[in-house]
């Protein structure tokens, strides 16, 4: 993962509605949620929500797919994984135990997943 992609992803998550939206999709799992359903759950006007969905999609954090009249959104888990890996890359210069706890023990750093 490159710095620009990480900044886009973090920026996409750093907003009240988008953070709530992403967590909603993370919890929804494979089934995903339709745009209208999300707008209703978050209490945000459709046009505003559409703006936020675009941000998350362009940042690579969510995937979209048309189903009949609705558009279904899903969390992109691999993208999330590589974002976390990027943040913790070479933690404590690679020392096995550096007091960082779980953060430093991410099982798969810099995998090819996204």
Partner DNA sequence: CCCTTATTTCGATAAAAGTCGAATTGTATT
Partner DNA sequence: AATACAATTCGACTTTTATCGAAATAAGGG
Task: Produce one character per residue of 83-95: b if its CB has 16 or more CB atoms within 10 Å, e if not.
Answer: bebbebeeeeeee
Query: Which one, 22 or 69, has the nearer CB to a second copy?
Result: 22
Query: At its nearest, how many Å lie between DNA and the CB of residue 77?
Result: 20
Q: Name the site residues for a second copy (rule: CB under 8 A).
A: 3, 6-7, 10-11, 13-16, 19-20, 22-23, 26-30, 75, 77-78, 80-81, 84, 86-93, 95, 98-104, 106-108, 113
Helix (H) or strand (E) holding 67: strand 62-67
Query: At its nearest, how many Å lie between DNA and the CB of residue 55?
Result: 6
The torsion of the CA quartet 82, 79, 4, 59, rounded to 10 degrees, works out to -160
Distance CA 86, CA 43 (A): 33
Query: Which one, 41 or 86, has the nearer CB to a second copy?
Result: 86
Query: Which one, 65 or 105, has the nearer CB to DNA?
Result: 65
State the binding partner of 66 from DNA, a second copy, none, CB within 5 to 8 A by kind: DNA
Kindly report the number of other CB atoms within 10 A of residue 110's CB atom: 13
């Amino acid at each position: 993962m490159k710095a620009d992609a990480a900044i886009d992803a973090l920026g996409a998550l750093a907003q009240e509605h988008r953070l709530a939206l992403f967590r909603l999709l993370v919890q929804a799992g494979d089934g995903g949620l339709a745009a209208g359903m999300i707008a209703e759950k978050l209490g945000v006007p459709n046009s505003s929500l559409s703006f936020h969905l675009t941000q998350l999609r362009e940042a690579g954090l969510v995937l979209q797919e048309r189903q009949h009249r609705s558009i279904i959104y899903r969390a992109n888990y691999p993208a999330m994984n590589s974002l976390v890996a990027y943040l913790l890359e070479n933690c404590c210069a690679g020392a096995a135990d550096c007091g960082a706890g779980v953060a430093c023990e991410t099982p798969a750093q810099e995998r090819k997943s996204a």
